[in-house]
Amino acid sequence: MFFTYLRRELAGRRRQTAIIAIGMALAIALVIIVNSVASGVKAAQASVLESVYGVGTDITVSQSPTPPEEGEGGGGPRFEFDADAGTTTDGTTELSQSRLMAGFGASTFDASALDTVLGVDNVAAASGTLSLTNTTFNGQMPQMQQGGDGTVPSGPTTTEGTDGEAPQGGPDGAGGSAFDVDSFSVLGLDPSADAIGPLSAVSLAEGRTLDADDTGANVAVLDADYATSAELAVGGTIDIGGTDFEIVGTVTSNAADSASASNVYIPLDVAQTLSGEEGMLSNIYVQAASSTDISQVQADIEAALPDATVSTQEDLASSVSGSLSTASDLVSNLGLWLSLAVLVAAFLIAILFTISGVTRRTREFGTLKAIGWSNRRITGQVAGESLVTGLIGGAAGIAIGLIGILVINVIAPTLSGSASSSGFDLAGGQGGPGGAAGGDASGGTVTRGFGGPMSQTAAATTEVALNAPITVSVIAIAVGIAILGGLLAGAIGGWRASRLRPAEALRSVG
Amino acid sequence: MYTLTKLTKTYRQGNRTVHALKNVDLAIGAGQHVAIQGPTGGGKSTLLQMLGGLDRPTSGTITIGADDISNMPDGRLAKIRAKEIGFVFQNFNLIPTLTAQENVETALEPLGVSGEVRAKRAAEALASVGLADRAGHLPTELSGGQQQRVAIARALVKEPDVLLADEPTGALDEETRDEILEILEGLHRDRGLTLIVVTHDSAVAKRAQRRLHIKAGTVTER
C-alpha cells in the first residue's frame, strides 16, 4: 500500500513532483560541478607546486634575505679580471669567466638547521638544498692600456692622448666592446636523498640521475628543456663556476608543459665548495610522518628555527598566482556561495511545495485519519513521497552534473599558474641572453650593469589544463544532499500532516 | 453501542466561546438505525465527531461498546476508528490518485491485513455495492453515485460495528439518493450494524427507526 500510494501520488501530482525534483536537480548539479572543478583546480595547484617543490614535500624551510650590509655586493655576481686575463689576438682581448653564487633573493643558512629539523618529532624525512645561480661573463674588448708611463704597449692599440690615433681592436676593430652575460640556475642537492625534494617531481629523460656515489664528484644532471636550448647533451660537459662538470643525465618535469625546478642539478657538497657557501643551505624540504602531523611539525620547526620561514603546502598553494589563482578564488568564493544559495533555494522550494501539498490534501489526510490511519503512517507517507522526489532530483542532478563536468573536461580550459614565495628561490628561467654590445668607440651603453643586482624572476610558470575529476565522494555528496533535502521537506510536511485533525474529513468544503 | 453522559463540548471561535454540545445524555443501542437532524450550527457535526472518535469532549464521558474514549490517547483512538467505525462522507472523500480498489484497501491498511487478503476483501466489498467492474477506475472516472458506493465499500470492508454517515446523499440527485440509502439500509438490515445518519433531508430521516433532533447543543427525541 505504501509504495502503491507513493507511486500514485508522485505520478498523479506530476507538476509538483517535477518542480521539486528540478529544483533539487539544479542545486545538486551545481554542487557536483563546483566541487569537481574545485578539486580540479586544487590538483592543478598541486601540480604547479609539485613541479617546484617536489612530491611528498609537506613543509619547506627557507630564510628571508636580509638586506646587504654596507660595502657588501648588492647580490649580483662581480667579475674581476686582472691585467693578464684573457687571451689577446689582434688587439682584442677575449675574456670569459663564470661564477657560481647563491641565487638572487635567496638567503643561505647554516646546514646545522637540517639536523635541527630532523630532530623534530614526526619528521619522516628532510633534505637540504642549496639554490645557486651560475653566471657566465663572455666578452671581447680592446686590449688594455698598460699604464701612463708613455711607453707604447705591445699591441698596436693606443689610447687617446697619443696624437689622435684612432682606437683599434675590439670586436668591431675600432675600440668597441661586446659582452654576453649568461646565467642558469644550479641546485645543489644531497644525491643520496632522492625521495624528497625537487628531484622527486621529475622523471629521467636520458642518462641517470644523481646517486649516493656522486658525492664530491663533478657531475651534473640537466633539465631536458634547458639542455636542448643550451645545446648540451649527456656525455658532454658544462662549465659551472669555472669547473667542468660531466653531464650524466637529463630530467623532465612530471607536470605538463612545465620546466623542472632548476636548470642544473649537482651534488650538494660540490655546490657548497664551488660557491663558497661551505656548510650552507638555502632550503630544507621536510616530509611529515603523516598529514595530521603537519601543523605540529611546522610549529616545532618554527620554534626551533626562529629566523626561518616555514611553509606548508597549503601556505604555498596561496602563493600560486596567475589564472589558476583567479580560478581558485572564483571557485572557492563565487562557486561556493552560488551553490549554497541555489541549494538553500531548492530546499526552500521543496519544503514550501511539500507544505502546500499537505495543505491541499488536508481532507485526504483527515479522511485517512478518520478511517484509522495513525499519525506515524501518514507522516511516513509524506516523508516517503518527499524522499523519493528528492532522489529523483538527485539522479537528474547527478546526470546534469556529469554532463557539465564532461563539457568542462572536453573544453579543458588551460590555466597558468606560477608559484613564487618570498625568500624562496625557485626555478630560474634561463637567464636571457644577457649582455650588450658596445658598438661605438665611446664604449657604448651597457644595458645591464654587471656587478650590480640583476633582476631575475624567481618563478616557474606552469600551464595546466583544468581537469575536473568525477569522484565517488562527489556523487556521495550529491546523493546525501538529495536524501537530506527530501527528508527535510518530508519531515516538515509530515509534521504538518500529523498536526491535522481527523475531524477535517467532515469539512464539506475543501 | 454508545453511551453519552453529560457530554459537553465547547470551543473558542475568535473571542467567542461556542457551546456546541451541552450536557448531552444519550444512549444508542447496537443495531439501531438513527437519524440526526437539526439546523446548521446546532451541533450535528460536533456530535458526529464525538460518535466517530474524531474529537474529545470538554467534559462528560462517551463510551463505544466497553471503551471510554473521552480521554483515550490518539494512537488507541485511531485503532478504535480503524476497527469499529465506518465513515461515509457527504463529498465521498476518496483519495483522488488511487483507484476504487485501492481506495477500499486503505481501510484495511491500519489493520495489518496481508496484501493478498486485502485485495480479496476489497474486491468483495466493491462487488457487494455493484462496482466489481469499476475496481481499476480512478474517482474522477466515476459518477457521484458510484463514488459514494466506493466510499461505502471502504466503510464496510473492515466489517465495523457502526456506520456513521454524514449527509451521505447531500451531493447526489434523488434517484441516486435512493440507491445509496437502499445500500446503507441493506447493510444495517443484513449485517446488523448500527447506522447513524446525519441529514438535512426529512425524506432520508423518515426511513430511520429513531430520529434525534439537535439544536443549540441540546438533543431531543422526535
Mind spelling out the 3-state secondary structure of A297-316?
Answer: HHHHHHHHCCCEEEEEHHHH
Nearest chain A residue to B167 by CA distance is A508
Q: Which amino acid is at B169?
A: T
- pLDDT of residue A406 exceeding 80: yes
CB of A362 less than 8 A from some CB of B? no
CA distance A395 to chain B (A): 25
SS3 (DSSP) at A260:
coil
Contact B96 A364 (CB under 8 A): yes
Q: What are the beta bridge partners of residue A444?
A: none
Which among B45, B82, B102 has CB closest to A371? B82
3-state DSSP assignment of residue A325: helix
Please give the pLDDT value at position A475: 87
Cβ contact A415:A461 at 8 Å:
no
Residues shown for chain B: 222
Output the pLDDT for position A438: 37
CA B220 to chain A, closest CA, distance in angstroms equals 23
Contact A372 B110 (CB under 8 A): yes
Q: How far is B210 from chain A (nearest CA, A)?
A: 23
Backbone angles phi, psi at A495, to 5 degrees: -60, -45
Q: Which residue in A376, A338, A343, A340 sits closest to A485, CA to CA?
A: A343
Reported as a pLDDT band with limits 50, 70 and 90, residue A355 is: very high
Higher pLDDT, A144 or A174: A174
Select the more confidently predicted residue: A82 or B109.
B109
Mean pLDDT score, A58-76: 64
CA B158 vs. chain centroid, Å, equals 13
CATH superfamily of B2-221: P-loop containing nucleotide triphosphate hydrolases (3.40.50.300)
Which residues in chain B touch residue A368, judged by CB atoms under 8 angstroms apart?
95, 106
Provide residues of B within 8 Å CB-CB of chain A.
45, 48-49, 52, 54-55, 74-75, 78-83, 85-87, 89-91, 93, 95-98, 102, 105-107, 109-111, 115, 118, 154-155, 158, 166-167, 170
Region A266-283: mean pLDDT is 86
Among A93-107, A189-203, A304-318, B93-107, name the most confident range.
B93-107
- pLDDT, average across residues A377-405: 93
Residues of A in contact with B93 (CB under 8 A): 363-364, 366-367, 505
Average pLDDT of the residues in A373-401: 93
> What b/e sequence results for B100-122 when a residue is b if at least 16 CB atoms lie within 10 Å of its CB, and e otherwise?
bbbbbbbbbbbeebeeeebbebb
CA distance A15 to A19: 6
Query: Residue A145: is its pLDDT beyond 50?
Result: yes
pLDDT at A484 over 90: yes
Q: Over chain A, what is the mean pLDDT? A: 76
pLDDT digits 0-9 by tens, B90-137: 889 999 999 999 999 999 999 988 989 999 999 999 999 999 999 999
Distance, in Å, from the CA atom of A44 to the CA atom of A39, rounded to the nearest integer, reads 8
Average pLDDT over residues A462-472: 78
Calculate mean pLDDT across residues A282-299: 83
Q: Do A374 and B89 touch (CB under 8 A)?
A: no
Please give the grid coordinates belonging to residue A446: 651597457
Cα–Cα distance measured from residue A392 to residue A413, given in angstroms and rounded to the nearest whole number = 31
Confidence at residue A445, expressed as pLDDT on a 0 to 100 scale = 36
The pLDDT assigned to A273 comes to: 87
Interface probe for A, chosen from B93, B117, B156, B200 (most Cβ of A below 10 Å), is B93
Q: Average pLDDT, stretch B66-73? A: 89
Polymer length of chain A: 510
Question: Which of A376-385, B8-17, B133-142, B146-155 is predicted least confidently?
Answer: B8-17
Give which of A7, A362, A371, A377 to mutate to test B binding, by max B Cβ within 10 Å: A371
**How far does A35 lie from chain B, in Å, by closest CA?**
39
Q: How far does the CA of residue A45 sit from the closest CA of chain B (Å)?
A: 55
Residue (of B163, B90, B53, B159) closest to A370 by Cα position:
B53
Count the alpha carbons within 13 Å of A379 in the hemisphere toward its beta carbon: 13
* A297 CB-contact burial (10 Å; exposed 0-12 / middle 13-18 / buried 19+): buried
Kindly list the residues from chain A whose CB atom is less than 8 angstroms away from the CB atom of residue B166: 506
Q: Render pLDDT for A415-452 as a digit per residue (tens, 0 to 9).
A: 777 665 433 333 333 333 333 333 333 333 333 333 33
Take residue A181 and report the three cell numbers written for it.
652575460
pLDDT of residue A394: 93
Q: How far apart are alpha carbons A56 and A254 in whole angstroms?
A: 13
Domain residue extents for chain B: 2-221
pLDDT value of position A107: 76
Query: What mean pLDDT is predicted for residues A395-407?
Result: 92
Per-residue pLDDT, A461: 64
Average pLDDT, chain B: 92
* pLDDT of A252 strictly over 60: yes
Report the amino acid identity of residue A136. T
Q: Report CA-CA distances (Å) from A84 to A143, A239, A455, B41.
A: 10, 21, 31, 126
pLDDT of residue B219: 93
pLDDT per residue as tens digits for the range A103-130: 665 678 888 888 888 888 888 888 888 8
Q: Looking at the DSSP assignment, which residues form a beta bridge with residue A97? A: A137
State pLDDT tens for residues A3-39.
Answer: 999 999 898 888 889 999 999 999 999 888 888 888 8
Question: What pLDDT band is residue A170 in, cutting at 50, 70 and 90?
Answer: low
pLDDT value of position A446 = 36
Q: Exposed e or buried b for every residue in A300-312, given b needs 16+ CB within 10 A? A: bbeeebeebbbbb
B166–A506 CB contact, under 8 Å: yes
Question: What is the structure's pLDDT at A448?
Answer: 35
